[in-house]
Amino acid sequence: MQRQEWRSKIGFILAASGSAIGLGNIVFFSANAYKFGAGAFYLPYLIALIAVGIPVMLLEFGVGNYWSRAFPQAMGKIGGKVGEMVGWWALLNALFITMYYVTILGWVLGMLIKSISGELWLPAVSLPAFAFPDGKLANPYGSFFALISSWFNVLFVSLVWAFNILLVVKGTRSIEAGVKIMMPLMWLFMLVLLFRGITLPDGINGFFMLMTPDFSVLSNPQVWQGAFSQIFFTLSLGFGVMAAYASYLPKKTDHTTNTIIVAGMNCSFEMIAGLAVFALLFVFSLTPKASTLSMMFFIVPQGLSKLSGTAQIFGVLFFTLLLMAGLSSSISLIEAMTSALIDKFRWRRLPTVITVSIIGILGSIACALPVVIDKTLKNNGTLGLTILDLIDHYAYTYGLLLVGLFEAIIVGWFFPVSKLREFLNQNSKIKLGRWFDVSIKYIIPLIILSLLAGGIISEFERGSLYGSDFELGGFRALPLAMALLWAVGTFGGALVLTLIKKGEKNEK
């Protein structure tokens, strides 16, 4: 079977940077930066980018392009069955992330509609499903909880899945067409928002707020774990998607230049977004409860609502930007999973995309379940949001780092890394030195192992299973159930997919 190829170099760059630039850049970065001492977050962030981000991106590009196979098959060429299993595990973990990521995108779509209809800009919204004294909740909180406690949000989530399917149904063809429209618009919208932010009276002080480091946080291991997880997530590493995208490249590719361009575009987008968000925070002296979702659905809309007269325009711009940025990311995982299944089982594309999407939709709906379990909103409000938070905890906090650890060990120890380096250098203007081998073999595994150890220790310090952070009402078993679902879904699924016999049809 003829493997697809990108139509142009720019198509690949746009698709790979589209995968990288997502919700992570626009809101998660600012939320993390705020939580971890604003400017002080830059230092761990830059260290994470250079020590782990760049080498792992080179590794994933190299592995995918060298064997021209999706991630599990390429890893299988290196590490046999274990390698293949790591590849599937990465994709399944990323599928969990995609499930709730698309749920969030469904909410972005819902909020976009509410900002067009004007509901988001009213002072308050009535929320009969919750127990508030006068039955109302101030905006933007009101609009958001009205959205996620209604079955409409399930409809929005399904719609976003439909957009995803349309964008991957023709593989690189439809992806290329999609990102060629979305990426320039995203940059434009982001620059407009930045301009609006820093030209607000005092807006430039947000810049200073972001640039004023609080170095005392650097001794906090959570800051470091936050920075490294953010780097994996924002650069789309540990998802298996960069390998899949690189497998559609011709062999004569300048991988180091591509890595610098993709990582550079991603991180500059992140900085610009950070400045725009911090300008809003500063001007309206908002103090965020630093969670990623609150930044997106509460803090930024709250700031925008104070732009008298133009709130609606900028609100629509902001949510459209989020939707495009998110879509160009989520399609990358659907494509990576699809190409892995096609490579293994020789299925046809359309049924494969549909199969992946049906599993994804079910997960996204679980994260959107509008059942109110916490009527006074002490915590998460709905069952869906609680499930979302729990899955995020396992798949994001631990999953991505684990994939990074496994891939570095397999490529570093079961394969001559120098051979991968020579391959990466073949057509590249900037040549990688021996530091690359040292980094993959020793430095990255050591860094990730210490982060994971730190994470597990702090988990114990906070007391029992993660669930202790939640007021779960009658749902106390939920954290355990989600941990099991994630572990069995990823490990069990990867085992089955590895051991199952591959399809022979169409095999040359």
Interface with ligand TRP by CB under 6 A: which residues?
19-20, 22-25, 94, 97-98, 101, 233-234, 236, 239, 241, 329-330, 332-333
251 vs 427: CA distance, rounded Å: 9
Question: How is residue 39 written in tokens?
Answer: 């400017």
Query: Is residue 260 a contact partner of residue 435, using CB atoms and an 8 Å limit?
Result: no
Beta carbons within 10 angstroms of residue 147's beta carbon? 24
Alpha carbon 370 to chain centroid distance? 23
* Min CB(327)–ligand TRP separation in Å: 10
- Taking the least distance from each CB to ligand TRP, the nearer of 111 and 137 is 111
* Min CB(220)–ligand TRP separation in Å: 23
- Taking the least distance from each CB to ligand TRP, the nearer of 142 and 384 is 384
Alpha carbon 326 to chain centroid distance? 8
* Min CB(234)–ligand TRP separation in Å: 4
* Min CB(300)–ligand TRP separation in Å: 16
State whether residue 237 is helix, strand or coil: coil
- Taking the least distance from each CB to ligand TRP, the nearer of 101 and 470 is 101
* Min CB(404)–ligand TRP separation in Å: 14
* Min CB(411)–ligand TRP separation in Å: 20
* Min CB(31)–ligand TRP separation in Å: 12
Strand partners, 124: 138
* Min CB(130)–ligand TRP separation in Å: 30
* Min CB(94)–ligand TRP separation in Å: 6
Residue 99's H or E segment, with its range, is: helix 71-117
3-state secondary structure 158-188: HHHHHHHHHHHCCCHHHHHHHHHHHHHHHHH
339 vs 352: CA distance, rounded Å: 9
- Taking the least distance from each CB to ligand TRP, the nearer of 19 and 143 is 19
- Taking the least distance from each CB to ligand TRP, the nearer of 16 and 200 is 16
CA-based nearest residue to 95, from 406, 366, 380, 454: 366
Query: Is residue 328 a contact partner of residue 179, using CB atoms and an 8 Å limit?
Result: yes
444 vs 461: CA distance, rounded Å: 26
Cα 169 to Cα 185, 328, 351, 352, distances in angstroms: 22, 14, 10, 9
- Taking the least distance from each CB to ligand TRP, the nearer of 112 and 265 is 265
In degrees to the nearest 10, what's the CA dihedral of 189, 191, 197, 202? -170
- Taking the least distance from each CB to ligand TRP, the nearer of 234 and 305 is 234
Query: Is residue 109 a contact partner of residue 159, using CB atoms and an 8 Å limit?
Result: yes
State whether residue 211 is helix, strand or coil: helix
State whether residue 138 is helix, strand or coil: strand
- Taking the least distance from each CB to ligand TRP, the nearer of 291 and 312 is 291
- Taking the least distance from each CB to ligand TRP, the nearer of 235 and 411 is 235
Query: Is residue 164 a contact partner of residue 98, using CB atoms and an 8 Å limit?
Result: no
* Min CB(160)–ligand TRP separation in Å: 12
- Taking the least distance from each CB to ligand TRP, the nearer of 94 and 299 is 94
Judged on CB neighbours under 10 Å (0-12, 13-18, 19+), 187 is middle
Cα 33 to Cα 180, 397, 430, distances in angstroms: 30, 16, 32
